[in-house]
Amino acid sequence: MKLISGNGNLPLAQAIADYVELPLTQASVRRFADEEIFVEIHENVRGEDVFVIQSTSYPANDNLMEMLIIIDALRRASAKRITGVIPYFGYARQDRKAGSRTPISAKLVANLITVAGANRVLSVDLHAAQIQGFFDIPTDNLFGAPVMSADIQARFSGENLMVVSPDVGGVARARALAKRLDNAPLAIVDKRRERAGESEVMNIIGDVKGRFCILIDDIVDSAGTLCNAANALKAAGATDVVAYVTHGVLSGGAVARVEGSQLRELVITDSILATDSVTASSRIRQLPIAPLVGEAIRRTADETSVSSLFD
């Protein structure tokens, strides 16, 4: 087994390598003067089971192209099996036609990864579970809930917990976390989105008065939805609000928005490389997912069950 990483999230790749007790394969990923990407692998990978670790976060197109070119280089170097390990799968929010003459970009990216030569894909908390069906190769979708529930129980076990979904679409995710928290009660924030990147909270489904609310979501980008939801929960009588989100995209003024919100804390995983503003924020904390991803890689290589990680 060999591990190789692009430039998308080198600290996470190194942490995964440390967990599985293997060094990262030596490779060069550099650019020509016109920003064209060039990859050269400096170790023999013939007949090897190779895992390419790359989050396709900002800059999404550069990181995606790096991964595709690395996969192509491995295929042409006669690697036995190539697994794309994509902690954060970019373009996942474009998983359906949102309007007339719009693309389904998640399907396009799935096709690109498959055609490049990947034999299987491993990702974390895909935005929509049906994206697994966009691939014509085996796809494992890991869940961040075990990591989050362990942190919640360690820090807030004495609180009167209630799990809250920030929208109707995230109810299944919230219910799964609530089940892990000794069947904590569930509430839903009903919102109306007028345009992309903006949301307006309408009302709270469920009684949150006197409750310590745990907001759960897969992606936080502008943070508008989470901050509006936190404000609405506090107005409805919640004692405190903490948000747990797998992928901290946090673009534009998201960090400042979190700092000025009713959120006590925003907890994200390190699936995306943290920016300086995220690292400097006193309201944002990162959870490591290297043990989760590393164990899934180990089980994939050993041909043992990955799903049992979540039993």
Answer for the pair 200, 226: CB distance below 8 angstroms, yes or no: no
pLDDT of residue 195: 64
Of the candidates 262, 257, 255, the one whose C-alpha atom is nearest the C-alpha of residue 279 is 255
pLDDT of residue 194: 63
Range of the domain at 163: 145-287
Q: Is 34 annotated as a binding residue?
A: yes
- From the list 80, 191, 209, 234, the catalytic residue is 191
pTM for this prediction = 0.93
Give every CB contact of residue 173 below 8 A, 6+ residues apart in sequence.
145, 165, 216, 217, 218
Tell me, yes or no, whether 67 and 136 share the same domain: yes
Cis peptide before 138 (omega within 30 of 0): no
pLDDT of residue 225: 86
Instruction: Indicate the number of domains in the chain.
Output: 2
pLDDT of residue 199: 55
Q: Is 217 annotated as a binding residue?
A: yes
CATH of the domain at 67: 3.40.50.2020
Tell me, yes or no, whether 211 and 268 share the same domain: yes
Tell me, yes or no, whether 10 and 115 share the same domain: yes
Q: Is 239 annotated as a binding residue?
A: no
Tell me, yes or no, whether 152 and 283 share the same domain: yes
Which residues in the chain come in under a pLDDT of 50? none
In angstroms, the CA 272 to CA 291 distance is 15
Tell me, yes or no, whether 18 and 120 share the same domain: yes
User: In the annotation, is 107 catalytic?
Assistant: no
